[in-house]
Amino acid sequence: MAVPVSQVMTHAPTLPAMFDAPALGTAHGAASPALRRPVIGVTTQTLHAIEGIPDGLPESWVMNQRYFRAVTMVGGVPLMIPLFADDLATVRALYEHLDGLLIPGGVDMDPVNYGEPMRPEVGRLDAARDAVELQLARWAIADGMPVLGLCRGAQVINVACGGSLYQDIPAQLGTHLQHDCYPTRGFTRTHLAHPVAVTPGSRLEAALERSSVQVNSMHHQSVKTLGEGLAITAVAPDGVVEAVEGTGEGFVVGVQWHPEVFDADDPSSKPLFEAFVRACVEYSERR
Ligand SMILES: N[C@@H](CCC(=O)NCCCC(=O)O)C(=O)O
């Protein structure tokens, strides 16, 4: 369910050209049909899944503002998805209003979701988020609704398609390339950790218009076995999977880096969100 631009323009003064306000009707002709901005579901995280949250705070669902701002930067309308893992009928009712799904970064997935016992290196978990994101990803992929996964989101796409994860890159892969460049380890979120090689002919290459890009990196897990219907479309110099995408018609793209933290002029950022929102517009017009 897209939102008429005419109802929201006062709150979104710098929309991209594709969402320009429709011309007003004149004495000589009728008004152009209103262009519509796609509604993009953005999943959330259980507040207390985050380290250091005081017990006294109420149970809450939260998400980093950057993800919502990235969506509005390219003309989308973000809709926060509450984690009603115990009420998937309500999640489904929300899903019916969406033109696209953005799955952000966050805590580790419980390995039970890909049928493995948990290693000691696995960090904090969020069972409600796992359940809701996996369900939403499966619905969206089945329906051809565009999905963009960022970091954990890319991992969710892979697991939703039946794939598995390395639970800890340092312990299981022994690479010397650092992927866990978190702010808690003294890195800025925009720290460019390493290059990635993008697969020629992939959706990702078409979006970024380049075959190599420098990326930031804030993760310790990565794709192990690839999910069904997915292809690997970017790798780090040490072979760690940096992006996956659907091999079918629908836009299903997951990247292991964090484009949302960059300003619009970064080559790994805005073009990806633009390609996603274009796919969401097309999807909303088709259904
Ligand atoms: N836990 C997974 C996914 C990592 C991830 O999504 N990191 C982003 C954290 C949120 C943030 O600080 O912005 C892994 O470690 O691989």
For the annotated catalytic residues, the residue numbers are 151, 258, 260
pTM of the model: 0.92
Rounded to the nearest angstrom, the distance between the alpha carbon of 259 and the centre of ligand 1 is: 13
In total, the chain counts a number of residues equal to 287
Pick the CATH number of 3-22+33-286 from 3.60.20.10, 3.40.50.880, 3.40.50.300, 3.30.479.10: 3.40.50.880
> Which amino acid, one-letter code, is at 5?
V
Per-residue pLDDT 10s for the chain (287 aa) are: 555 444 433 334 356 777 765 444 444 445 556 568 999 999 999 999 999 999 999 999 999 999 999 999 999 999 999 999 999 999 999 999 999 999 999 999 999 999 999 999 999 999 999 999 999 999 999 999 999 999 999 999 999 999 999 999 999 998 989 999 999 999 999 999 999 999 999 999 999 999 999 999 999 999 999 999 999 999 999 999 999 999 999 999 999 999 999 988 888 889 999 999 999 999 999 98
Rounded to the nearest angstrom, the distance between the alpha carbon of 35 and the centre of ligand 1 is: 35
Tell me the C-alpha distance between 183 and 279, whole Å: 32
Closest by CA to 169, choosing from 216, 237, 122, 227, is: 122
Residue 219 burial by CB count (10 A; 0-12/13-18/19+): exposed, middle or buried?
Answer: buried
Q: Using a 6 Å CB cutoff, which residues line ligand 1? A: 64, 105-108, 151-152, 218-221
Kind plus residue range of the DSSP H or E element containing 144: none
The residue extents of the domains of the chain are 3-22+33-286
